[in-house]
Structure 1
Amino acid sequence: MTKQFGAKKAVDDLSFTVRPGIVTGFLGPNGAGKSTTMRMILGLDQPTSGTALIEGRPYRELKNPIRTVGALLDAKWVHPNRSARAHLQWMAASNGIATSRVDEVLRLVGLSEVAKQKAGGFSLGMSQRLGLAGALLGDPKVLMFDEPVNGLDPEGIVWIRKFMQRLAAEGRTVLVSSHLLSEMALTAEQLIVIGRGRLISDSSVQEFVDRASEASVRVRSPQLDALRSALTSAGLTVKEPSSLDQVHPTLVVAESTTEAIGEIAARNNIVLHELASQHGSLEDAFMKLTGDDVQYHGAGTDNDVSGQAGGRSDSMGGALR
């Protein structure tokens, strides 16, 4: 898919597939086009060229959209004078869904006790939960969430992580965008990463991290000078940690293994107090691979990206392609 706004390409020839049974993270720098892509998948924006499909069909051709795909793009779109229950009852009535489903989804997202309160008085976290309830109302096979952890406290973030993983384990297709990279590393199995509207990576979380990370080994010894000399003599690159612990002297050895360093230390009769492999984080990998695609530097909100979606039906969930 491509989406042009005047002279600007918000989405640039973007193609990917989101498969059932796993949580797929949708990442990109500010202004990358994530929200634009999600809006095109849901038929809210029309692509300049290309197609977005849900279970093999454009959104506008779905007979019962709310029963096929549930989405949370804006937690604050609810009428402020409607109660949580009234809002969901309206959605249910307009889509031929039993009223009993309203109370069921309110329980699922933990809003039963505030169901009669007006949505306008909800915190952002409570609004996110109400948005999740709306997305689940039709028991859809495909779920799309744009920044669903915004406004949630730590307990709520852990809850939504497990919630999304449970939905995926049921065979549903789950696509979620987030700026909390450490949380995404714990939530998603697959990552779609875009920058300036173009696809940067479509891989598992581990493959993405490994692709951008340099393997290293952390080694601690009371004989630091002798260890450093032995390692450099063996042709290894030795780095001093940025915050060197003077009480527990430590070195970081790039592109090596614990076995190789242990053998060098043994040959030189050097005592080791710690020897551990180090791997990069999702945040490190993301910054390295998307650094050239950042449009807006400094503090700000995520403006989105682009992509193409479509699908086939597999088990419970349908793919987005």
Structure 2
Amino acid sequence: MIEARGLTKVYGSKKAVDDLSFTVSPGIVTGFLGPNGAGKSTTMRMILGLDRPTSGQALVNGQPYTAAKVPLREVGALLDAKDVHGGRTARAHLTVLALSNGLPKRRVDEVLELTGLTGVAKKRIRGFSLGMSQRLGIAAAMLGDPDVLMFDEPVNGLDPEGILWIRNFMRSLAAGGRTVFVSSHLMSEMALTADHLIVIGRGKLLADMGTKDFIAQNSATTVRVRSPQADQLARALAERGTQTRQVDGYLELSGVATDQVGDLAASRGITIHELFQQRSSLEEAFMELTRDSVEYHAEVPTAASGSVPGGAA
């Protein structure tokens, strides 16, 4: 279990993390979300004792991580996949970590196999792709077979097969009763992986709830219907006070249930080809909640506004 209690970190005049409190429980995958500059990396570094809080504290299994006698047996962490000695081989890198933490050398072969790196164990790390470096970082995190895992952007640089592997891997770790805390900007992947979300913006806690509840509370639900008699259906709905709009070949409406639309269509003899409820994605819900917490905003170029910056003249 990970606990943050009033965590605050100030750099000069900037408050990077502001009185942040939350608990990361075992048995589920907890996603850690926030815009760039929200304080996610700083928070993770404070949990691991790499940064000292200005105030508050972070606990891992009831004590500061710095008090752990064998750190890799307590927490496995991947914060920066490229922050390794490039001149070492993958096996040498893992062997140094194992020996310095009193871990048996057999764990090196076990985690190399676990992450699919056995075939490149003797290759120097400087020649690794980003995806291979991510796998090596995960191998290092698993060396001590810890109960708590922390991953910062673990799917960065992975191909589709690798993304599927890490998704299933994290979920299997949680299913085994471990604490899994993962930060990512890839919302589509978090929607498939995380059971619970902790969302921060400008260093403050914005949400701490289940993924499904988060989407439900921060997005609108609409109904979409496709009919060869769309105009007739739209007029019938308008008579009931329900406004519609055309979206991708569908009539989209809100404030009404699918069964109400179906009953109305049936009563008017209107044919329905498709009728379903449409809920916003995690990305849309996240964007809605963090709209006021984004540090930098940029306009999306359009055809009417001229060429895309950096494009051909």
CA distance in 2, matches of 1:112, 1:298: 44
Match of 2:222 among 216, 219, 232: 216
Could you list the runs of 5+ residues in structure 2 that have no partner in the other structure? 1-6, 300-313
| Distance apart, 1:254 and its partner CA | 1.0
User: Would you say the 8 A contact 1:215–1:256 is kept in 2?
Assistant: no
CA distance in 1, matches of 2:297, 2:178: 36
User: Would you say the 8 A contact 1:67–1:140 is kept in 2?
Assistant: yes
Per-residue CA distance 1:11-63 (angstroms, 9 max, x = gap): 01111100001110000001100000000000000111100000010111112
Please tell me the residue identity of whatever aligns with 1:165: R
| Backbone CA RMSD of aligned residues | 1.1
Which SS does the other structure have where 1:13 is aligned? strand
Please tell me the residue identity of whatever aligns with 1:87: H
CA distance in 2, matches of 1:8, 1:273: 56
Which SS does the other structure have where 1:237 is aligned? coil
After superposition, residues 122-201 of structure 1 pair within 5 angstroms as 122-201=128-207
Which SS does the other structure have where 1:297 is aligned? coil
Per-residue CA distance 1:189-210 (angstroms, 9 max, x = gap): 0000000000111111100100
After superposition, residues 217-232 of structure 1 pair within 5 angstroms as 217-232=223-238
Could you list the runs of 5+ residues in structure 1 that have no partner in the other structure? 300-321
Runs of 4+ off more than 4 Å: none
CA distance in 1, matches of 2:84, 2:11: 28
Which SS does the other structure have where 1:185 is aligned? helix
- Counterpart position of 1:279: 279
Please tell me the residue identity of whatever aligns with 1:154: P
Match of 1:47 among 45, 49, 53: 53
After superposition, residues 1-321 of structure 1 pair within 5 angstroms as 1-241=7-247, 244-245=248-249, 250-298=250-298
User: Would you say the 8 A contact 2:17–2:39 is kept in 1?
Assistant: yes
CA distance in 1, matches of 2:85, 2:279: 47
CA distance in 1, matches of 2:273, 2:184: 39
Per-residue CA distance 1:244-278 (angstroms, 9 max, x = gap): 43xxxx20111221101111112222111111111
CA distance in 1, matches of 2:211, 2:181: 14
Per-residue CA distance 1:280-311 (angstroms, 9 max, x = gap): 10011001000110002349xxxxxxxxxxxx
Please tell me the residue identity of whatever aligns with 2:285: A
User: Would you say the 8 A contact 2:71–2:101 is kept in 1?
Assistant: no
What TM-score results when the alignment is normalised by the length of structure 2? 0.92
Please tell me the residue identity of whatever aligns with 1:264: L
CA distance in 1, matches of 2:241, 2:37: 43
Per-residue CA distance 1:92-119 (angstroms, 9 max, x = gap): 1111111101000000000000000001
Please tell me the residue identity of whatever aligns with 1:234: R
User: Would you say the 8 A contact 1:167–1:174 is kept in 2?
Assistant: yes
CA distance in 2, matches of 1:274, 1:252: 12
What TM-score results when the alignment is normalised by the length of structure 1? 0.90
